[in-house]
Amino acid sequence: MAGGATIELVGLTKRFSGARGGVAALRSVSARIEPGRITGLVGSDGAGKTTLMRVIAGLMAADEGEVRVENAAEVGYMPQSFATYEDLTVADNLALYADLEGVAGAARRARLDELLAFTGLGPFQARLAGRLSGGMRQKLALACALMRPPDALLLDEPSVGVDPLSRRELWEIVSGLAAKGALVLWSTAYLDEAERCAAVLVLHQGRLVYAGPPGSFTGPLAGRTFALYAPAASLRAVQRRAGVQPGIVDAVRRERALRLVVAEGPAPKLADLLAEDERAGAALEPVRPTFEDALVAALRSTAEPSPTPLLAAPAPIADLDRPTARPVEVANLTRRFDSFVAVDSVSFAVERGEIFGLLGPNGAGKSTIFKVLCGLLPPSGGTALIAGIDLSRARAAARERIGYMSQRFSLYGELSVGQNLAFFAGVYGLSGRRKRERIAAVSAEFGLRALEDERAGALPLGHRQRLALAAALLHEPAILFLDEPTSGVDPVTRREFWLRINALAEAGVTVMVSTHFLEEAEYCDRLAILYEGRLIALGSAADLKRAHAPPGTTAPPGIEDAFIALIRAQARAAA
């Protein structure tokens, strides 16, 4: 597009002063952003995405370097939490922004109608913004940001908190803008979104790791990615071994295979990966490298090594010695809030050592089920058993058997790592020698010894996650609850986390995961898909994908496709 807006970044560096000598949020970032397409700004939480957006938008000055914006009269910026007024209706919000932007006269009505049609918000004009779903609220925010059509549009994580269906619609709206010649910078932590962009800037810890089309990012990995099928072996065990094997960059379980990314050189042989008795029926097939593979390979070279060899045998779990009933059993579970039915007669059972995911859009009821199972809420109807303990009777007793790690890694930030561990050991009733032993054990296992005196709040995200998991495991629970454990975390840290979870599951710990983050769903053995309080599908990711793939898809469907197809079918049935 000749004459379109371009943004050129030249050696941008930005430091924030902080507790320990400050943090560099951006380290000499140079790149060129072209018009007429969506450029993805890809990175995990804390990678520097928001800082870069704010520097480009002129809200923050860089310490070094400069931003050159060409041919752009209007640069629109939509921050992560865009200020739509919750107590105003959709129409009022739009009118307010029209006033603020000085859109008046005949053009005003036309522009508002255009935006309403464009975002599909027409039927919801009278609704309060606070009552909109996450996806609709983002569309409204986008409409407000687009009041005067900008030549360049900066969107900071527009798809966070938005269900997959609305995420796609949002993407299509923005694609339409880009097709008309606008420059769009879309920041995201979701790698499937990154893959859909025409170009990407990949940030990691403030550094530009890659800039260019996403397809070329995977280029160097050609011939280095494989799927390993080994029906006779425990894939988890193979994965753990592969994780420390030289020449293997990455090993991730995907459905019935182990995805491998290997270092440059000759292709790996089955004999290197599997013991003799595991090789029956095994196969190693080359597969197409994905964006995630490329990112992991790029980050592995910079990432600090894992604190402990994950080859170590899984920690023995004392609680498992007790003979127990099924770890989790839910029958016709119902939970009402006044007249609102948040969970409607849901039944499922989880086996020992299983990783079980609850998946669904916001408001589907997964967090309510989680709260019931964690003993925070009594059920209104049906039964819920944790290790055979009835949650409508002995909630405190049931809570002793579970570990819980929340999305926000809820730790006491002002306390040191050691003090946090001592506290959680204490509230779970550990004392004396057992307390000392358990703290020593998890500290060693999670590489926290060197960090003992650090303030928990000052730790980087990955370390904080490790500490939170360590704290949840101090009392050796038989069942572990994880609430969106790895959203926003970079893929290397995420892999490390799931390796640990796998090791725990192998040792017999039952793991319950609640998430709306589809990448996390891939790590679960089985998934329960919830929609409007009801269980609409139950099975392994592979089964669900096969059973619910939208007709006419040629490429292997992702879990997201299956999920969207399921939800659309439900919505149709309800209509």
Query: CB of 449: closest distance to another protein in angstroms?
Result: 20
Query: Which C-beta is closer to another protein: that of 476 or that of 561?
Result: 476
Is residue 270 within 8 A of residue 281, CB to CB? The reply is no
- d(CA 296, CA 302) in angstroms, rounded, equals 10
Query: Which C-beta is closer to another protein: that of 134 or that of 375?
Result: 375
Query: CB of 467: closest distance to another protein in angstroms?
Result: 12
Is residue 36 within 8 A of residue 181, CB to CB? The reply is yes
Query: CB of 471: closest distance to another protein in angstroms?
Result: 8
Query: Which C-beta is closer to another protein: that of 69 or that of 471?
Result: 471
Query: Which C-beta is closer to another protein: that of 273 or that of 456?
Result: 456
- d(CA 124, CA 138) in angstroms, rounded, equals 14
Query: Which C-beta is closer to another protein: that of 415 or that of 569?
Result: 415
Residue 528 dihedral angles phi and psi, to the nearest 5°: -110, 120
Is residue 212 within 8 A of residue 34, CB to CB? The reply is no
Query: CB of 482: closest distance to another protein in angstroms?
Result: 12
Query: Which C-beta is closer to another protein: that of 172 or that of 338?
Result: 338
Gyration radius of the chain's alpha carbons: 25
Query: Which C-beta is closer to another protein: that of 48 or that of 477?
Result: 477
Query: CB of 377: closest distance to another protein in angstroms?
Result: 6
- CA distance to 113, 236, 488, 530, per residue, from 518 (Å): 34, 21, 12, 13
Query: Which C-beta is closer to another protein: that of 401 or that of 545?
Result: 401
Query: CB of 149: closest distance to another protein in angstroms?
Result: 38
The tokens describing 33, both together, are: 């952003």
Count the residues in the chain: 575
Query: CB of 426: closest distance to another protein in angstroms?
Result: 2
Query: Which C-beta is closer to another protein: that of 67 or that of 397?
Result: 397
The overall longest dimension of the chain from CA atoms, in Å, is: 79
Is residue 412 within 8 A of residue 419, CB to CB? The reply is yes
Is residue 377 within 8 A of residue 336, CB to CB? The reply is no
Residues lying near another protein in the complex (CB under 8 A): 337, 371, 374-377, 396-397, 399-400, 402, 404, 406, 408, 410-415, 419, 422-429, 431, 481
β strands within 17-133, DSSP E? 23-33, 37-42, 64-70, 75-78
Query: CB of 477: closest distance to another protein in angstroms?
Result: 10
Query: Which C-beta is closer to another protein: that of 270 or that of 376?
Result: 376
179: exposed, middle or buried (Cβ count in 10 Å: 0-12, 13-18, 19+): exposed
- CA distance to 240, 319, 524, per residue, from 503 (Å): 8, 16, 13
Residue 320 dihedral angles phi and psi, to the nearest 5°: -75, -15
Question: What 3-state class would DSSP assign to 235?
Answer: helix
Query: Which C-beta is closer to another protein: that of 364 or that of 373?
Result: 373
14: nearest Cα among 76, 70, 59, 44: 59
Residue 297 CB neighbour total at 10 angstroms? 22
Query: Which C-beta is closer to another protein: that of 431 or that of 554?
Result: 431
The tokens describing 339, both together, are: 């007249």
Query: CB of 399: closest distance to another protein in angstroms?
Result: 5
Query: CB of 157: closest distance to another protein in angstroms?
Result: 20
- CA distance to 81, 96, 567, per residue, from 119 (Å): 18, 17, 20
Task: Give all strands of the β-sheet with 328-337 in edge-to-edge order.
Answer: 340-350, 328-337, 381-386, 389-390
Query: CB of 472: closest distance to another protein in angstroms?
Result: 9
3-state secondary structure 427-494: HCCCCHHHHHHHHHHHHHHCCCHHHCCCEHHHCCHHHHHHHHHHHHHCCCCCEEEEECCCCCCCHHHH
321: exposed, middle or buried (Cβ count in 10 Å: 0-12, 13-18, 19+): exposed
Query: Which C-beta is closer to another protein: that of 160 or that of 422?
Result: 422
Query: CB of 406: closest distance to another protein in angstroms?
Result: 6
- d(CA 27, CA 12) in angstroms, rounded, equals 7
Query: CB of 13: closest distance to another protein in angstroms?
Result: 30
